[in-house]
């Protein structure tokens, strides 16, 4: 009997040790609020599994994953073939959720501002540098804009997927932007001051009267910062919403096998124009089989259970057809 109990105890210990795993990830700040919630809930439901995620920006997440320093990366911009080439193991993109990037502002006495695409681009180009500009006023009849309030542009200073989404949009709607700063995670900004992470951009805009910046929707809501409406490709003014992001995602009729797509300035009557998927960057075959199993199970849990919590944090869940395709990819991971 005693021998049986000892053997049983050793078996339980062996099983618990096999299940105890620590996953490390790094990357985008855009999905950090939902990732933090997901990872905490998954760990609570799977004793022994610890997930440590550092929100260092998409550029950092891609670099660390390619270098093999983390078990998964996170990015709001599809990594290029050139970026992925140095990786020792083949990597793939797994879309996890969708979100919106919003233009935030701090204009004393003003709660809502409409931004047409050309005006938004010219503000960030430095061509429009005062809130009393006639072009802003034309889009906002009845809004009492300040008589003389300089615009201070606040942008990301780190390699950022949020920046990629925003500049990808600006490059589609403004030829001057496309020919000038163009799109990317890190660009040469014509004007403005920088902040690291969505959190710091939100903080600077909140503190600087006359400031304008861009952040993921949840950061504007959590920090109670005003954000504007943007005219979409159909010509309608749209405030960022789960429904608007979902409509933008519906513009993808055929999801590519590598999931690398852009949905900024998407067609659709009420599509929100600065929308994007966000991805986890994972190995097709993990160098550590035990970690690979936990990572595969985590991704399966996110798609089958975690998506239902996305809207509570102002993200949009994956469309059902995309989620079904993603699950097939997840099942193929080793």
Residue-wise pLDDT for 123-134, tens only, equals 999 999 999 999
pLDDT, tens digit, 9 for 90 and up, residues 288-311: 999 999 999 999 999 999 999 999
Q: Report which of 83, 66, 4, 39 is spatially closest to residue 301, judged by C-alpha positions.
A: 39
- Is 2 a domain residue? no
Tell whether 125 and 114 lie within a shared domain: yes
pLDDT at 94 over 80: yes
Shared domain check, 212 and 84: no
- List the domain range (segments joined by +) for residue 301: 22-98+277-332
Looking at residue 291, its pLDDT comes to 93
| Rounded Cα distance, 213 and 153, in Å | 6
- Nearest partner of 326 among 252, 222, 216, judged by Cα: 252
Same-domain status, 44 and 86: yes
**pTM of this structure:** 0.86
Which residues, other chains included, contact 283 with Cβ-Cβ below 8 Å and sequence gap of 6+? 89, 90, 91, 92, 292, 333
Q: For position 290, which CATH number holds?
A: 3.40.190.10
Model confidence at 334: pLDDT above 90: no
Q: What is the pLDDT of residue 13?
A: 37
pLDDT for 120 beyond 90: yes
Same domain, 206 and 193: yes
As a whole-number percent, the residues of the chain with pLDDT over 90 amount to: 82
Query: Is 327 in the same domain as 235?
Result: no
Average model confidence (pLDDT) for the chain? 91
Residues 186, 134 within the same domain: yes
Same domain, 69 and 152: no
Among 65, 82, 78, CA closest to 282: 65
Q: What is the pLDDT of residues 138-184, one digit of tens each?
A: 999 999 999 899 999 999 998 788 999 999 999 999 999 999 999 99
Closest by alpha carbon to 79, among 94, 96, 89?
A: 94
Q: Are residues 190 and 295 in the same domain?
A: no
Structural domain contains residue 144: yes
* 217 pLDDT more than 60: yes
What pLDDT band is residue 18 in, cutting at 50, 70 and 90?
Answer: very low
Nearest partner of 265 among 187, 149, 196, 183, judged by Cα: 183
pLDDT in the model for residue 8: 43
Domain match, 166 and 203 both = yes
Q: What percent of the chain has pLDDT over 70?
A: 94
pLDDT tens column, 174-198: 999 999 999 998 899 999 999 988 8
The CA-CA-CA angle for residues 284, 290, 292, to 5°, reads 20
Q: What is the pLDDT of residue 19?
A: 54
Angle at 238 between CA 234 and CA 243, to 5 degrees: 95
User: Within a domain: residue 272?
Assistant: no
- If asked whether residues 115 and 235 sit together in one domain, one would say yes
Q: How high is the pLDDT of residue 161? A: 85
Does residue 31 form part of some domain? Answer: yes
**pLDDT score of 197:** 85
Among 249, 264, 294, the domain-final residue is 249
Q: If pLDDT is split at 50, 70 and 90, which confidence band does 29 have?
A: confident
Report whether 306 contacts 86 (CB < 8 A). Answer: no
Question: What is the structure's pLDDT at 15?
Answer: 40
Same domain, 123 and 180: yes
- Residue 226 phi/psi, 5° resolution? -65, 140
Is 201 a residue whose pLDDT tops 60? yes
Count of the separate structural domains present in the chain: 2
Same domain, 142 and 222: yes
Establish if 3 belongs to a structural domain. Answer: no
């Amino acid at each position: 009997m005693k021998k049986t109990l000892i053997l049983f105890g050793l078996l339980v210990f062996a099983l618990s040790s096999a299940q105890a795993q620590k996953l490390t990830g790094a990357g985008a700040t855009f999905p950090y609020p939902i990732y933090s919630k997901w990872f905490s809930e998954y760990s609570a439901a799977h004793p022994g599994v610890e997930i440590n995620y550092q929100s260092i920006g998409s550029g950092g997440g891609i670099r660390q994953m390619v270098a093999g320093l983390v078990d998964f990366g996170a990015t709001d911009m599809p990594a290029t073939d050139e970026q992925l080439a140095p990786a020792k193991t083949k990597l793939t993109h797994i879309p996890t959720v969708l979100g919106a990037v919003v233009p935030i502002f701090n204009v004393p006495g003003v709660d809502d501002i409409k931004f047409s695409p050309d005006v938004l681009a010219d503000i960030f180009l430095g061509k429009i540098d005062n809130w009393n500009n006639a072009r802003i006023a034309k889009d906002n009849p009845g809004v009492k804009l300040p008589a003389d309030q300089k615009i201070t542009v606040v942008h990301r200073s780190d390699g950022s997927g949020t920046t990629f989404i925003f500049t990808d949009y600006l490059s589609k709607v403004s030829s001057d932007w496309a020919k000038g700063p163009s799109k990317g995670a890190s660009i040469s900004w014509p004007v403005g001051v920088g902040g690291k992470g969505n959190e710091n951009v939100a903080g600077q805009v909140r503190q600087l009267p006359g400031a304008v910046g861009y952040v993921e929707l949840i950061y504007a809501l959590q920090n109670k910062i005003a954000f504007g409406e943007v005219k979409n490709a159909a010509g309608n003014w749209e405030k960022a919403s789960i429904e608007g992001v979902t409509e933008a995602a519906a513009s993808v009729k055929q999801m590519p096998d590598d999931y690398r797509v852009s949905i900024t300035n998407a067609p659709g009557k009420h599509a929100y124009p600065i929308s994007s998927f966000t991805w986890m960057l994972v190995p097709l075959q993990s160098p550590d089989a035990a970690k690979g199993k936990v990572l595969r199970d985590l991704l399966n849990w996110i798609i089958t259970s975690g998506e239902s919590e996305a809207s509570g944090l102002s993200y949009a869940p994956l469309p059902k057809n995309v989620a079904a395709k993603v699950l097939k990819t997840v099942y193929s991971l080793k």
